[in-house]
Structure 1
Amino acid sequence: MSLAQHIQDAWNKQASWLIVLRPLSWLYRLGFNLNKSLYKSGIKTVYKAPVPVMVIGNITVGGSGKTPLLIQLVKHLQQHNIRVGVISRGYGGQGPFPALVNRLSEPDTVGDEPALIVQSTSVPMAVGPNRQASIELLLQSHTLDLIISDDGLQHWALDRQIEWIVLDQNRGLGNERLLPEGYLREPKARLSHSTVIYHTKAKAAQVSNNMHLQIGLPYLLNKNLDSVLFDREKYFNAVVGIGFPERFYQTLSQIGVIQYQAHEFPDHHDYEISDLTFDNQDAIITTEKDAVKFKALLSQNPNFNIPIWVVPVEAVLSSDCYELLKQQLQQVGIQFF
């Protein structure tokens, strides 16, 4: 297990030894506040895009359900004839940047989450660490009403008109400490300055702006094994490389998969075929985010015949979320049709 995975595990368990990292958290806070003040004071330049920008992010390290939420919002906007585009840092991608993303883009080039977003929605999308360059590249080839920034909540160089923060109620804020003692990117007070979408286990009446993940039927990734049937009672190799693996294990439990060997990898892991090769011949079960990387591996290794089952999830948003979105877009001049 890598150092990063050890720390991730300690965060999830709120291990007491993390207190030794508190001096580093103080340095992180100092650097974070200094950088933010340089943008707020105008010493550093803030880019204002020619169309409204909506940022969807989180204040925690690791998964919060942000990508399924973004995919669902894009589909909703497309259904209402709003011309939406998406930008992203492209974590895990090697570039060159900025780059446009299409349905054939390789995750190794543009990142796993951008590849998944475009494969799910066909939305115009550009990736790269320079958000301004990504927006300008996107607008060169598309006329857009709105740009959604996938993550970038702490990217102060980008002006934004709408901010949504996804907060996983199951995971919470841990020990409420900043990096690296805890997994907060910003103090929890940040939640009072943006729209918070609460990711709950199921429909929740206690908070109006909420979402939950609806689990779909597992599907087979191997096109050459289409005769294989899914059997939840069999033993699986659960391969997962996301920020909060525990959520995937909870998903497996919900669909009745309880016999599996967990194989955890870092978030945005660059998989090799050896990562999918185990001493046993049990089927693999994984997430959609990981699966976008496995597709290329299967095409490069046509003799790989271990079934790979993918568990799809879809964000289900409360009606209040959609009503709030409509109001916020109207405030920046975007009308629903």
Structure 2
Amino acid sequence: MKKLELALTQAWQKNAVWLKLLTPLSGLYGMVTHARKSLYHSGKCPIYRAAVPVLVIGNITVGGSGKTPFIIALTKILRKQGISVAVISRGYGGDSTQMPKLVTPTSTPNEVGDEPCLIAQSLYSDGFFLPMAVAPNRGQAIDLLLKNFPETTLIISDDGLQHYALHRDEEWIVVDVARGFGNGKLLPQGFLREPIDRLQDALVLYHDKDMTKYPKKAMAMSLKVGQIEPLMGNHKSPVPSVGTYVHAVSGIGHPKRFFDTLSDQGFLVIPHPFGDHHDFRLEDLVDLINHPIIVTSKDAVKLRHLATQTTHDIFNHIWVLPVEMVLSDGIIEQINHLIVKYQLN
């Protein structure tokens, strides 16, 4: 299944001609998703309504769009203002038999998924505890959160844009400008989960490499790259130098952006794309000992967990490229508007 996912991802990037053969499947996918959405909107299927406002942050594409670093930036802003925000997620890659489940800074990817771990750990490293729960059934996740954290005044749903069983008060859609919408086709011919006109129903946030081309009030944001840091804090390998070869290992939805970022930093990149949410094993890494390995913060969560289970020198040669989402004045104003609208503070 992972090989098929990776093959499709590469075909989407190249706009391969053979994707046209999948046109009937995309048509079927579109009919099924439209029918499913209609069942909820017509009241024929029940919709869960939370006791507090729900903000869904998602995308209409498969793969990375910058949604997770944006959620990290947003929750930090809200927590700094003393707002009792909590986050729910599907917990993809975690143990669904044990869900709904609360996420803590010590949770593992095998338990709750890699992205929830990254969000919780990122907030904790900045001095904030973020109430968070995971479950395929988002209503169950919210019930668990409100039971344990009744002071919660806002729920942010990490993804779940297509989870129509959940009522949402606000929808914010993150669009990766560099990637765009590909061939504009629905899955599996293209990488769209929903048609492009779905953007008309929500606030659209544009993730772009260059924010200077946008007015200050635009709904734009950009990733700021930090200094690479060792995967394991106690190893003493020399820091990889620009102009040298590095193995770029990636298990994210849109690995090309990560590879391009490393190239922009001056590294000579040897790309190693794996499928999104890839469950890394030691054999994925041991043959890459000839050059330093650089990974994303999301993949680092899994690799640190792997390092606690397997002793090997390869972990002393792995580095992490941290990123931080920088928000435009327009997005900051929108956040402040959200606070006032729902009387969150």
State the TM-score, normalizing by the size of structure 2.
Answer: 0.93
| Mapped partners of 1:73, 1:127: distance in 2 | 19
Alignment of 1:249 with 2:259, yes or no, is: yes
The Cα shift of 1:30 comes to 0.7
Between stretches 101-110 and 204-213, larger displacement belongs to: 204-213
Q: How does 1:78-89 map to 2 (within 5 A)?
A: 78-89=79-90
Alignment of 1:272 with 2:281, yes or no, is: yes
The equivalent of 1:298 in structure 2 is 307
Residue from 141, 151, 157 that aligns with 2:148: 141
Alignment of 1:157 with 2:165, yes or no, is: yes
Q: How does 1:63-212 map to 2 (within 5 A)?
A: 63-95=64-96, 96-121=98-123, 122-142=129-149, 143-206=151-214, 208-212=218-222
CA deviation vs aligned residue, 1:214-243 (integer Å, no higher than 9, x gap)? 000000012341353332333222110100
The equivalent of 1:42 in structure 2 is 43
CA contact (8 A) 1:161 1:332 kept: no
Overall identity of the aligned pairs, in %: 48
| Mapped partners of 2:100, 2:201: distance in 1 | 30
RMSD: 1.4
The equivalent of 2:4 in structure 1 is 3
CA contact (8 A) 1:28 1:179 kept: yes
CA contact (8 A) 1:204 1:210 kept: no
Alignment of 1:237 with 2:239, yes or no, is: no
CA contact (8 A) 1:202 1:213 kept: no
CA contact (8 A) 1:298 1:304 kept: no
Alignment of 1:327 with 2:342, yes or no, is: no
Residue from 215, 220, 225 that aligns with 1:215: 225
The equivalent of 1:288 in structure 2 is 297
Between stretches 17-26 and 208-217, larger displacement belongs to: 17-26
CA deviation vs aligned residue, 1:110-129 (integer Å, no higher than 9, x gap)? 00000000000131100010
One-letter amino acid of the structure 1 residue matched with residue 292 of structure 2 = A
| Mapped partners of 2:288, 2:87: distance in 1 | 41
One-letter amino acid of the structure 2 residue matched with residue 275 of structure 1 = D
CA contact (8 A) 2:63 2:252 kept: yes
CA deviation vs aligned residue, 1:29-65 (integer Å, no higher than 9, x gap)? 1100110011001110011100000000000001000
Between stretches 3-12 and 294-303, larger displacement belongs to: 294-303
CA contact (8 A) 1:211 1:315 kept: yes
Q: Which runs of 4+ in 1 moved over 4 A?
A: none
One-letter amino acid of the structure 1 residue matched with residue 143 of structure 2 = E
CA contact (8 A) 2:280 2:303 kept: yes
| Mapped partners of 2:184, 2:272: distance in 1 | 28
The equivalent of 2:323 in structure 1 is 313
Unaligned runs of 5+ in 1: none
Between stretches 198-207 and 139-148, larger displacement belongs to: 198-207
Counterpart secondary structure, 1:92: coil
One-letter amino acid of the structure 2 residue matched with residue 272 of structure 1 = R
CA deviation vs aligned residue, 1:225-264 (integer Å, no higher than 9, x gap)? 1353332333222110100000001110122112x32111
CA contact (8 A) 1:176 1:182 kept: yes
- For this pair of structures, how many residues does the alignment match? 334
CA deviation vs aligned residue, 1:116-165 (integer Å, no higher than 9, x gap)? 00000131100010101000101111121101000000100000111100
One-letter amino acid of the structure 2 residue matched with residue 273 of structure 1 = L
One-letter amino acid of the structure 1 residue matched with residue 27 of structure 2 = W
| Mapped partners of 1:2, 1:58: distance in 2 | 23
Unaligned runs of 5+ in 2: 124-128
State the TM-score, normalizing by the size of structure 1.
Answer: 0.96
The Cα shift of 1:280 comes to 4.1
Q: How does 1:52-63 map to 2 (within 5 A)?
A: 52-63=53-64
| Mapped partners of 1:287, 1:66: distance in 2 | 14
